[in-house]
Amino acid sequence: MKTIQDINFEGKKALIRVDFNVPLDENLNITDDTRIQAAKPTIAKILKDGGAVVLMSHLGRPKGVEEKYSLKHIVKKVSEVLGVEVKFAPDCVGDEVEKMVSELKMGEVLLLENLRFHPEEKAGDVNFAKQLSKLGDVYVNDAFGTAHRAHASTTIIAQFFPNNKCFGFLLAKEIESIKKVLSEGEKPVLAILGGAKVSSKITVIENILDAVDHLIIGGGMSFTFIKAQGGKIGNSICEDDKQELALAILKQAKEKGVHVYIPVDVVAADAFSNNANTQICDINKIPNGWQGLDAGPKSIEIFNKVVLESKTILWNGPLGVFELDKFAEGTIALGNSIAEATKKGAFSLVGGGDSVAAVKQFGFADKVSYVSTGGGAMLESLEGKTLPGIEAMLK
Ligand code: AMP
């Protein structure tokens, strides 16, 4: 795996695929610049070597050219984060852009307009990728968030740089973190899977059973398992058609010697609301009209013990409806346990969608070993898939 460390960029123009798909508010202000910050080490290394940088990214899901998705809105922020002036190209391909790149001096940074203003980007069009490839001497992929897509700038372009492409620091770190959990993790290895649905995580569960010693299944997912085992779950969220699958997973886990922990008690509510009445009850004895919306105190205690015993921890998905204060306690307690385990030397990886939001919201982001920048890409990696963007770099 060739990384940015292996190349001296002196006198070279690096074409970097970054993931600057940042959230913007209605006034087009960036509300979270994590993704820009995350790309900084790669850009800084190239500039320090004495190279120039051409940045390409998508933003949102525009249908053709849509002003509100223009990357010009983020130029100021990127300049601020990098501490250098950033030039902006009004398109990402074509004569004018090629001219701007040819005039770019070493030490300078140019940001291209939104790749997705051209439908060829998502279509993985080879000619479009070839046009993009003219904009740099070396191709650097540092966009984990789109590595699971075979788009022109993330995958197809790699073939035009047979001997001069490499992974950026961020992408390399993401790959390394997943490897640490799935194949090189110090034992005991624990995976915590929460969130709403069994169906969205099923392939992940099946794949990680070979890698983990302990598995915590929490959140809305747990009720399908409890109902399948004959428990009464009241009005809790459940995928009835996944009950057999749930039992099959438990059987597989047992055969593979994986200890599975499912909440034993819950905070049950009479409505999906912060104003709901609540009671603590056993997870398999939830009264009709009530739904389990968070892990209960006994479960939190059990999970805490497992977390503190583990040396490698993967966390994907909240333990309850953390968006509502009343049902955030389980998720916060779990975050605290993981932070403590990390402090004691465990490796902890948080990734995939909502757990990242939870970790940020509750201030755990710098208390875990690594917070992944890719939701879908993370899930697909945990499913055991080789991501097309990564595969293309290894050819
Ligand atoms: P996911 O995107 O699959 O990680 O699911 C995250 C969502 O699951 C969050 O929006 C949570 O509110 C939701 N969730 C977690 N626990 C429950 C629960 N017990 N009942 C309903 N939704 C839940």
- For residue range 74-131, what is the model confidence (pLDDT) as tens digits? 999 999 999 999 999 999 999 999 999 999 999 999 999 999 999 999 999 999 999 9
Taken in order 330, 332, 335, 336, is the CA torsion positive or negative? negative
Instruction: Find the catalytic residue in 35, 45, 116, 173.
Output: 35
Superfamily grouping for domain 4-167: Phosphoglycerate kinase, N-terminal domain (3.40.50.1260)
Residue 350 CB contacts under 8 Å (≥ 6 apart), including other chains: 315, 316, 338, 356, 359, 364, 368, 370, 371, 372
Atom of ligand 1 nearest to the CA of 324: 12
Ligand 1 centre to CA of 322 (Å) is 8
Torsion of CA 134, 95, 59, 86, to 10 degrees: 90
Q: Is the CB of 379 under 6 A from ligand 1?
A: no
- pLDDT (tens digit per residue) in 312-356: 999 999 999 999 999 999 999 999 999 999 999 999 999 876 777
Ligand 1 centre to CA of 318 (Å) is 6
Q: What is the pLDDT of residue 197?
A: 87
Q: Is the CB of 234 under 6 A from ligand 1?
A: no
Q: What is the pLDDT of residue 353?
A: 66
Q: What is the pLDDT of residue 131?
A: 98
Ligand 1 centre to CA of 237 (Å) is 9
Name the nearest CA neighbour of 144 among 388, 374, 393.
374
The residue ranges of every structural domain in the chain are 4-167, 175-382
DSSP-derived secondary structure for 186-205? PSSEEEEE-SS-STTTHHHH
292 in active site: no
pTM of the model: 0.91
DSSP-derived secondary structure for 279-323? EEEETTEEPTT-EEEEE-HHHHHHHHHHHHH-SEEEEES-SS-TT
> Rounded to whole angstroms, how far apart are CA atoms 109 and 23?
22
> What percentage of the chain has pLDDT greater than the value 90?
91
> Rounded to whole angstroms, how far apart are CA atoms 210 and 29?
44
- pLDDT (tens digit per residue) in 4-30: 999 999 999 999 999 999 999 999 999
- pLDDT (tens digit per residue) in 249-289: 999 999 999 999 999 999 999 999 999 999 999 999 999 99
Tokens of 175: 């790959």
- For residues 190 and 213, the answer to whether their CB atoms sit within 8 Å is yes
Instruction: Find the catalytic residue in 197, 285, 298, 360.
Output: 197
Q: What is the pLDDT of residue 374?
A: 84
Same fold, 4-167 and 175-382: yes
User: What is the best residue among 202, 300, 303, 354 to mutate for testing ligand 1's pocket, by most ligand atoms within 8 Å of CB?
Assistant: 354
Q: What mean pLDDT is predicted for residues 224-241? A: 97
375 in active site: no
**Which residue's alpha carbon is at the smallest distance from atom 11 of ligand 1?**
321
SS3 label, residue 113: coil
pLDDT band, very low/low/confident/very high, at 212 (cuts 50, 70, 90): very high
**Which residue's alpha carbon is at the smallest distance from atom 6 of ligand 1?**
195
User: What top-level class would CATH report for the domain 175-382?
Assistant: alpha beta
Q: What mean pLDDT is predicted for residues 231-241? A: 97
Ligand 1 centre to CA of 293 (Å) is 8
**Which residue's alpha carbon is at the smallest distance from atom 1 of ligand 1?**
195
> Rounded to whole angstroms, how far apart are CA atoms 390 and 395?
9
The overall average pLDDT reported for the chain is: 96
**Amino acid identity of 251?**
K
Instruction: Find the catalytic residue in 87, 311, 360, 376.
Output: 376
End-to-end CA distance of the chain: give it in Å, rounded: 10
Name the nearest CA neighbour of 197 among 232, 260, 241.
241
353 in active site: yes
Tokens of 133: 């490839």
Q: What is the pLDDT of residue 390?
A: 96
Q: Is the CB of 237 under 6 A from ligand 1?
A: yes
Give the least confident one: 57-71, 197-211, 222-236, 312-326. Answer: 197-211
